[in-house]
Each structure stands twice: as structure tokens, then as C-alpha cells.
Amino acid sequence: MTTARDIMTGNAECAKTTDTLVDAAKKMRDLEVGALPICGEDNRLKGIITDRDIVVHCVAEGGDPSATKVEALAEGKPVTIGADDSVEEALHTMTQHHVRRLPVIDGHELIGMVSQADIAKHLPEEMVGELVEAISGAAPNS
């Protein structure tokens, strides 16, 4: 069984809750990613921030991304996947929660991220249609 640990991108870098949105945007640019996990001072996962979140929930609202802290966009309990959960479970979780990326957790520690692209590379051929449906049905801010 292929697990989340097998297909994830390891060493996920976090945006700290105390970082500004500009800090988070620069980190996304430098890492060439569109989303970052948000971690608190205790290094526990607090949420995920996307480039779209910054635009829609700050810039478009007339906010100042250099003064707005990442924690302002860390809402609710983040959807995660366990490191030893299967690829099929990761797909099910993404579909159920309409997200395109999942933080991978081992105990309470963030150890990586799994994207839909990671899953697509490792899905059995008969499940590719479910992935396509999940992509087209996912909320646009995921």
C-alpha cells in the first residue's frame, strides 16, 4: 500500500502565525509554491494559506499585506492526512473537504505536504476519473 509518507513533499516550510502576508508571499515565491502550512509558535499546524487567500482576503479588501499577520487568515481546524494513510484515503479526504493540498502529520508533527498532483502520479488507473472529478468539484480557494 502506497502511503502519504511515500508520495509527499517532505520538509514542508511553514508560514508562522506572526509573519506578515508579504513574508508569506515571498516565501511562496522563493519556494515556488502556491500554499504554505501555517504553524504557531509551538510549531503545531494552525492552517494553510494560499496565494489566492492573500489576494482575495486582504488585497481585494483593501488590506495592507505588509501589516496583516498570517494568523488573520488561519481559520478553523486544518484538514490533514496521517503519514501512514493510503493514497486512496488522501484522495477521499481531499474530495470530502474540497481541498487540493493536505498537510501530512506524524503524531502532532508536520512532516510534509501532499498535493493532487502527487496523488495523480500514484493512483491506480481506474481512480484517475475520481481525481479529475475532485479537481473540478473542489472549491476555488483550496
Give pLDDT tens digits along the chain (142 positions): 889 999 998 888 999 999 999 999 999 999 998 899 999 888 788 899 999 999 999 999 999 999 999 999 887 788 999 999 998 899 889 888 888 889 999 988 899 999 888 888 877 666 667 666 665 664 544 5
SS (H, E, C) the chain: CCEHHHHCEECCCCEECCCEHHHHHHHHHHHCCCEEEEECCCCCEEEEEEHHHHHHHCHHHCCCCCCCEHHHHCCCCCCCEECCCEHHHHHHHHHHHCCCEEEEEECCEEEEEEEHHHHHHHCCHHHHHHHHHHHHHCCCCC
**Does some domain include residue 109?**
yes
pLDDT of residue 141: 47
**Does some domain include residue 12?**
yes
Residue 92 belongs to what domain range? 4-137
**Does some domain include residue 60?**
yes
**Does some domain include residue 25?**
yes
**Does some domain include residue 121?**
yes
pLDDT of residue 130: 67
The CATH number for 105's domain is 3.10.580.10
Q: What is the pTM of this model?
A: 0.80
